[in-house]
Homo-oligomer: A and B are copies of this chain.
Amino acid sequence: MEQEVNASAKPIEALDSANSQYQSTGNPSPGTEIKVFAPATVANVVCGFDVLGFAVNEPGDEVVMRVTDKPGITISKITGDNGRLPLSPEKNTVSVSVQHYLESIGRTDLGLDIELHKKMPIGSGLGSSSASTVAGLFAVKTLLGDDRDVAKLLPFAIKGEEMACGHGHADNVAPALLGGFVLIRSYEPLDVIRLPHPAGLYCAIVFPDVDVPTREARKIIRNTIQMKDAVTQWGNIAGLISGLYTHDIDLIGRSMQDVLVEPVRSILIPDFYVMRDLAMQAGAVGFGISGSGPSVFAFTRDEETALKITQALQQHLTGIKINSHTYVSTINDAGPRVL
């Protein structure tokens, strides 16, 4: 069953490879090259643990993909990773997800070389592996002239995520791929819904350069929780979704409360509550952990306030001898793009 994808606030049914009827006929000649950017993403969005995420305009990763004359995928270069990522195509999430995609469309005859340029920190809680994977998948899709909706790439991106993080969650890959705000209502079957958002919403991101591996950050989350806390949480996610649809920034802000995950994960983030106070005092609409951290983010109504927040937080982190990177951006509605 092939479904149309409507980019504005409509559910998207992403097919898994087994169901896909698509057969590629594109035949790019050796030497053809493409450069693609895919955005960083903020998963969870405070009250939507594992089901919500949005994309930002910066940072993000770049993939250069070149058609070769020898079947199979190679990775010739990775920059910006401080040697942390594997060049072996069987171990790198970009090549692994591209390989899955090629298999699904019957094009393992193709030869591809990949350069990955990390333009964002790894292990930052900003969907670093998702940005790389989505850039790779969008590159190969474009090279092959596959004109299906990008949502069709989602199952392959999730496979890459599974390899990178030990769990096949979609709250980073889905917004990186589709752009904007994305809800993953269900994983089985995969049911992804693109949400609207107020036009004037700015995002301030601060990455304190401390190590919080995603796998570890997941482990500390409680498996059992109080029903009353869950009720609070789903009241808030329902409020956040309402605020996104009605462009009610106040409602978005007061819904950004997390009584379940933040109290635990914030322990791994230096001076989390001090940073929150600083951000709220500086005029943030809401504040929280980006993904599994250590990055934090704030929503604001304008660029000036977002800049004020990143400056205040960076200054505080410098004072406690922690390096940081800051980003100010609107929501990225486009997802990946050819550079």
Residues of A participating in the B interface, judged by any CB pair closer than 8 Å: 9-11, 47-52, 183-186, 191, 193, 195, 221-228, 230-239, 241-242, 245-246, 248, 250-251, 254-255, 260
- Report whether A238 and B186 are in contact in the complex, using a CB–CB cutoff of 8 Å: no
User: Are B223 and A51 closer than 8 Å at their CB atoms?
Assistant: no
- Give the CA-CA distance A174 to B233 in the complex, in Å: 20
Interface residue from B10, B51, B222 paired with A234 (Cβ < 8 Å) = B51
Chain B residues lying within 8 Å of A11, measured Cβ to Cβ, are: 239, 242, 248, 250-251
The answer to whether B10 touches A238 (Cβ under 8 A) is: no
| Cβ contact of A233, chosen from B10, B221, B230, cutoff 8 A | B230
Taking A51-B235, A193-B251, A225-B230 as contacts, is the C-beta distance between A242 and B9 under 8 angstroms?
yes
Does B260 lie within 8 Å of A186, measured CB to CB? no
Neighbouring B residues of A10 by C-beta, 8 Å: 246, 248
A223-B226, A231-B50, A234-B234 known; A242 and B191 CB under 8 Å? no
- Give 30 CB contacts A-B under 8 Å: A9-B246, A10-B246, A11-B239, A11-B242, A11-B250, A11-B251, A48-B238, A50-B231, A183-B238, A183-B239, A185-B238, A185-B251, A185-B254, A193-B238, A193-B239, A221-B227, A223-B227, A223-B228, A224-B224, A224-B226, A225-B227, A230-B234, A233-B234, A234-B234, A234-B237, A237-B237, A238-B241, A241-B242, A242-B245, A245-B246
**Given A239-B191, A241-B242, A246-B9: A231 and B183 within 8 A (CB)?**
no
